[in-house]
Amino acid sequence: MLVSVGLYELLAAVLVLLFVYFRRNRENLPPGPWGLPVFGYLPFVGKYPSRSYFELSKKYGPIINVKLGSKNVVVLNDYESIQEALVKQSDVFSDRPRNEFIHKISEGYGMIFRKFNEEYKIHRKFTLTTLRGLGFGKRGMESKIVEEIENLCDEIGSRNGKPFHCQDTLVAAVSNVICNVVLGSRFSYDDEDFKGMLKAVNALFSDKVYAFCVNMLILAPQLRFIPPFSTAHKRIFEDIDYVVEILRKILEEHKRSLDPDNPRDFIDHYLIRMQSNDTNDVSFCEEQLYQILRDLFVAGTETTSSTLRWAVLVFAHRPDIQRKVHEEVKQVIGVGLPSMKHKDGMPYVSAFILELMRHRTLVPLAVPHATVRHVSFRGYDLAKGQMVLANIWAVHHDPKNFENPSEFNPERFLDGDGTFNKNPRVIPFSVGPRSCLGEQLARMEIFLFLTSIVQRFEIVADSSRRLPELHDGNSGIAEVPTMFHVSFKNRL
């Protein structure tokens, strides 16, 4: 009898502690679901967390709080709250979350996960200025992109119109553009080091289980002790070490051949800055350079190549849309080389690209943000270090912003006379001071690669295999297409 009373008392005490714990951690936070003890709402986020959060916002309002594991996470689900936080109050909302997993990935260096402080601002300014000096976002960059497009089209043409999975080819071509600028040269598609680096990047986004686990580890690092998250945790650091070792060899070669009067690429410019006598900024160091190179390589490879793969999948599903894009390419460009000077005269292509970025939001929750200090936001109290997610997918699929948002319809961005009408609520690269560094290059690459491919090839679905649906994909840090096969029929 005494034992049973003791058990009841222990159970009651545990329940009281859990109630106090949850109540304390939710004090004056936005509303949201309770979830489960220990795991919080993690078991319920599903395959597509951004969509789950958007559904929750219909019940609780545009700003919600979800407990992921033991941590409260605030999710912004509408354009207005994202603009207010990441743009109007960017000085407060531009930090990155501090947890064991993120810190181990970045070791306090790089650009993507680095803490928002003066050192970050100095490095972002240096990186943007240097990349622009090397042609980023400028028409002088076209020659490097067009050179790679020629190699890509030769590789596609060698398939003789037979169906194949185009992921590896597109990833290699896009990656070579960023490698040309940052590392000083392109790689052969058969180069073993190059293939190894691309394999590591592809797995991080395209391996369904691995990609999902890594995304969850960023949000709830305590999962690293539980399979399959523990396996993903081990694998990501093995892949990081592999990529860094190859970058180390490239860096050593640059150090041996460096000519301070004739910098060739980003690495040279960074090494010159490190060796400069007029700076005592010790934050310019090799550890930071490795992390920046890795950040640029990963982000510059995956985002554009996955967007192009979504475009190929759309063309396979919708020959009518592909026909309209091709007709405009044929009318405006003809058989000459596509150039950015053609873009303003191609409203349908511009509308197609914008709809592609809206409908297939590549990074649905952006990179997690955190508050640099305590802040009162929309009547809620957010503590210093509060993780905040910007649900870009929700903005892009909110019927208040876009009629019939689940429908893929480029015409939504065309006026009655066919004029392209850009909508500022399409924000695929996020907004504010932590928005994507490579946005200008990505937009240029997508236009030039896309028009060149459509100019030369007709994309045809493989009748022997089922195409994945447009609303379905591998969901992790980014939402990328699952494997599919198509034919590229030569038009020329």
pLDDT in tens, 98-125: 888 888 888 889 999 999 999 999 999 9
Helix/strand/coil for 243? helix
The type of residue at 109 is Y
Average pLDDT, the chain: 92
Domain CATH number, residue 392 = 1.10.630.10
d(CA 401, CA 370): 26
Distances (CA, A) of 98 to 56, 68, 163, 212, 391: 26, 15, 45, 20, 20
Report if residue 176 sits inside a domain: yes
Section 144-165 average pLDDT = 95
Q: Is it the case that residue 486 has pLDDT exceeding 90?
A: yes
CA–chain centroid gap for 204, Å, is: 11
Domain residues for the domain of 435 are 31-490
Tokens 């910007």 identify what position? 390
Look at residue 13 and tell me if it is in a domain.
no
pLDDT at 24: 44
Domain membership of residue 1 (yes or no) is no
Instruction: Considering only residues 115 and 283, tell me which one the structure prediction assigns the higher pLDDT.
Output: 115
Q: Is residue 350 part of a domain?
A: yes
Instruction: Flag whether 140 is in a domain.
Output: yes
- Whether 2 shows a pLDDT value over 50: the answer reads no
* Residue 397 within a domain: yes
Q: How confident is the model at residue 72 (pLDDT cuts 50, 70, 90)?
A: very high
* Pick from 179-193, 269-283, 314-328, 446-460: least confident: 269-283
Cα–Cα distance for residue pair 416/428, rounded to 1 Å: 25
What does the pLDDT read at residue 107? 86
Share of the chain above pLDDT 70, in %: 93
Q: What is the pLDDT of residue 136?
A: 79
Residue 277 has pLDDT above 80, yes or no: no
The pLDDT value given to residue 135: 85
Mean pLDDT is highest, among 102-106, 124-128, 324-328, for 324-328
In a domain, 283, yes or no: yes
Overall average pLDDT of the 242-271 stretch: 94
Distance CA 373, CA 225 (A): 30
Q: Could you give the number of structural domains in the chain? A: 1
Distance CA 69, CA 42 (A): 6
Of the candidate ranges 51-65, 165-179, 263-277, the one whose mean pLDDT is the lowest: 263-277
- Give the pLDDT score at 15: 58
The answer to whether position 310 is within a domain reads: yes
Contact 290, 301 (CB under 8 A): no
